[in-house]
Amino acid sequence: MNNRLETFVKENRKAFDIMEPSADLWAKIEQDLDHKKKKKPVKLYLWMSAAAAVVVVFGLVWLYVGKLQNKDLEIADVSASYAKKEVHFTGLITEKRDSLAIFASANPELYKKFTADLRKLDEDYEKLKAELPTSPNQTFVVKAMVKNREIQLQLLKQQLLIINQVDDYKRVNQI
């Protein structure tokens, strides 16, 4: 195959030479080779501005996430001893509220009044809890939160005592 192509080119060489490209075409090609495309200068200040913007955005996101995490401050983060007291009071409060709920069917009106008082104390506790992360004196707020739980427990004990007295009175008067 190569031999036949080679012999064909040799025999028809004059025909190939007739179709030479014009001198203008070679001049144009030469001019394009000499002419280099101008590169756009890389503007360093643009890159620096973009990098600074990225750093600022990451910094703002980091601060925002940090503030969100700071809102989850717990009593244990401020004082372990107060946290133990708070857990103890919360357990007793839950137990007493369950006992109070049992008497709700017998004295629904009295139960409504009692739960209104407890609801107010719960709202105060939630306000204190929301205030804790931003408070300059967090120990004071924690003490107030624990005191609130202690008051709730005392109130529940008094309410249960009143309900027991009312039930005793009803039993004595039924006889």
| In a shared domain, residues 17 and 78 | no
CA–CA separation, 169 vs 175, rounded Å? 10
- Structural domain span for residue 24: 2-34
| In a shared domain, residues 100 and 167 | yes
Would you say residue 52 lies in a domain? no
Task: Provide the domain count of the chain.
Answer: 2
Would you say residue 152 lies in a domain? yes
Q: Which residue has the higher pLDDT, 107 or 7?
A: 7
Model confidence at 76: pLDDT above 70: no
| In a shared domain, residues 169 and 111 | yes
Would you say residue 159 lies in a domain? yes
Model confidence at 59: pLDDT above 80: yes
Q: Which residue has the higher pLDDT, 52 or 38?
A: 52
Model confidence at 169: pLDDT above 80: yes
Would you say residue 117 lies in a domain? yes
Would you say residue 94 lies in a domain? yes
pTM, entire model? 0.54
Would you say residue 39 lies in a domain? no
Helix axes 80-102, 138-174, angle to 10 degrees: 20
| In a shared domain, residues 155 and 87 | yes
Model confidence at 97: pLDDT above 80: yes
- Would you give the DSSP letter of residue 38? P
pLDDT 10s digits, 108-155: 888 888 888 889 998 998 898 888 888 888 888 888 888 998 999 999
Q: What is the largest CA-CA distance in the chain?
A: 140
Write down the pLDDT at residue 171: 82
Which residues 6+ apart lie within 8 Å of 16 measured at CB?
Answer: 9
CA–CA separation, 153 vs 159, rounded Å? 10
Would you say residue 62 lies in a domain? no
SS (H, E, C) 44-111: HHHHHHHHHHHHHHHHHHHHHHHHHHHCCCCHHHHCHHHHHHHHHHHHHHHHHHHHHHHCCCCCHHHH
| In a shared domain, residues 98 and 167 | yes
| In a shared domain, residues 145 and 85 | yes
Please give the radius of gyration of the chain, using alpha carbons only, rounded to the nearest integer.
Answer: 44
pLDDT 10s digits, 1-27: 678 888 887 887 777 666 676 777 777
Would you say residue 21 lies in a domain? yes
Chain CA centroid to CA 140, Å:
28
